[in-house]
Structure 1
C-alpha cells in the first residue's frame, strides 16, 4: 500500500510537469489553459494506469497513463488556444467579440453589423467577416458550431422568435454553402428570452440584438 502511495505521488509530480507548457505565442513556460488540461489529464491517466496495473508494473502503468491522459487532454486545450488566437487575429476590428469559457469559444456578433433592421438578409458589409469565419472553421474542424439568434423585446414574442430563427438559419446556410460541414452546425432562435442587457434602454436593446456562435468539442 505504501509503495502504491509513492507511485501515485510520483504520478502527481508527472502531472504537474505535464501541466507546464511552453506558450507558443510568448515563448514562456507556463501552466496555461492547455497546460491545465494536460496536467489534469496526465494525473487522471497516471492514477488509472497505476491502479489497473499489477503491483510490480504500477510505476510503468503510471507513466503510460500519464502520457496518454496528458496528450489527450492537453492536445484539445492547445487546439482551442490556437483556434482562439486565430479568431482574435482574424476578427480584429470587425466588431465581433471572442469570449472563452473553459474549452468553449463564443463569438458575439452585434445585430447592427450582421443584418438590417427587422431583416434576416445578411448585410453586404458582413460578408467579408463571414468569409473569414468560413476559413477558420474549415481549418479548425474539430468543433461543433451552435448558432443562436437573439432579439430585443420590442414587438411581439412570435415576431421576435421568427426573426431570430431566420437570422440564425441565414448564418448557418451561408457557412454550409461555403464548405463548412452541415453535420457540425445547429441553428435556432432564442427570440428575446436570453438578454445580456436591459431592454429598457436603447443601448441595452442594441446589445440584445445579436447572433452568437458557440464552438464546442465534437
Structure 2
C-alpha cells in the first residue's frame, strides 16, 4: 500500500480553515497508514506461525512455540490499536485548539481562547463551546457526529485513567451500541474494525466542523 497524503491543490489556500484542514489531514492520513501497516504486519506474522504450527503438528515443541507466538500477537494487537486511538484523539484535540487560536487571531476576537476555561468544559468540549459561543460558527453539537465524538472521548478517558478497565454496565452498553466496541472480562478490547469505524467518525466530524460557516 502506497503512502497517501493530501494534495494542497485540493484545498482553498485563501481560506484559513481550509489550510488548517489540510494540515490536519496530513497528520490523519499518516496515522491511517500506520494502522493499516500494523494490521498487515500482525496478520502476516500470525499466518506465518499458524502455518509453521500446522507443518510441525507432530513436533510438539515446535508446534507449541508457534502457537504461543500466535497468542502473543493476539494480545499485542489491541494494545497497538489502543495507542492509535490515543494518538488519533490527540490529533483531534490539537486541531480544534489550533482552529480556536487561529480564529481568535484572524477575527480579532476579544475573548481569548486561553482564558476560556471552566470545570465543566474541558478538552474538545471547551474548544467546541468556544467555536459556537465566541467564534459564532454554525451549531456543531446539533449533529449526530458530536454524540459519537463524546463517546469516543469517554472511551479514550477510560484508557488513559483506567487502562481500559470498565465496570459500569451503562458504559459497556454505550460502547457496544454506539461504537461496536465490546468489554471482555472488564476490559475494552479494540479491533481493527473498531479503529476504522472510530477513525471515520473523527475524520467526518472534523471535516464537518471546518465546513461550518462563521456567522460574524
TM-score of the two chains, using structure 2 as the length reference: 0.29
Return the index of the structure with the highest Cα Rg. 1
TM-score of the two chains, using structure 1 as the length reference: 0.29
Higher relative contact order (CA 8 A, sep 6+): 2
Whose strand proportion is higher, 1 or 2? 1
